[in-house]
């Protein structure tokens, strides 16, 4: 496959008729808009995925709940007013016990929830 595309300036200047397409753009097209995830080959990521899979199975947790929690954590990082809703959801779904919740904004909880959400998405996607 030729990875050159016509430039809008082709008609103006034939020397600019083709320009190479960035490999990342080709990968996005091939993966239907999803970027390649090089972290999947990282042994630590694989270990984390395996641990989360085991927790999900042992506790019969719907991975979608973890994914939603991760998404909410990402939003709460940008808007601290959403943090209490994240904590409430995590406690309600049994993802964290009320006695583990610190007073005020806890960046470790945000980071953990965000990471778990991303790992759960990898699991759902077949990792």
Domain ranges for the chain = 1-36, 38-124
* The token pair that represents 11 in the structure block: 């008609």
Q: Report pLDDT digits (tens) over 104-121.
A: 888 899 999 999 999 999
Q: How many CA atoms lie less than 13 Å away from 36 in the CB half-sphere? A: 9
pTM as predicted = 0.66
Q: What is the pLDDT at residue 65?
A: 95
Bridge pairing between strands 18-20 and 4-6: antiparallel
Q: What is the pLDDT at residue 10?
A: 46
Q: Report pLDDT digits (tens) over 58-95.
A: 999 999 999 999 999 999 999 999 999 999 999 998 88
């Amino acid at each position: 496959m030729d990875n050159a595309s016509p430039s809008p300036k082709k008609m103006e200047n034939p020397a600019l008729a083709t320009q190479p397409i960035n490999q990342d753009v080709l990968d996005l097209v091939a993966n239907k808009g999803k970027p390649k995830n090089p972290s999947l080959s990282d042994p630590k990521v694989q270990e984390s995925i395996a641990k989360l899979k085991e927790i999900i199975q042992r506790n019969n947790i719907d991975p979608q709940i973890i994914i939603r929690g991760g998404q909410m954590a990402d939003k709460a990082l940008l808007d601290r007013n959403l943090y209490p809703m994240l904590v409430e959801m995590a406690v309600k779904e049994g993802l964290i016990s009320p006695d583990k919740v610190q007073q005020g904004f806890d960046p470790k909880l945000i980071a953990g929830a965000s990471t778990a959400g991303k790992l759960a998405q990898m699991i759902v996607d077949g990792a």
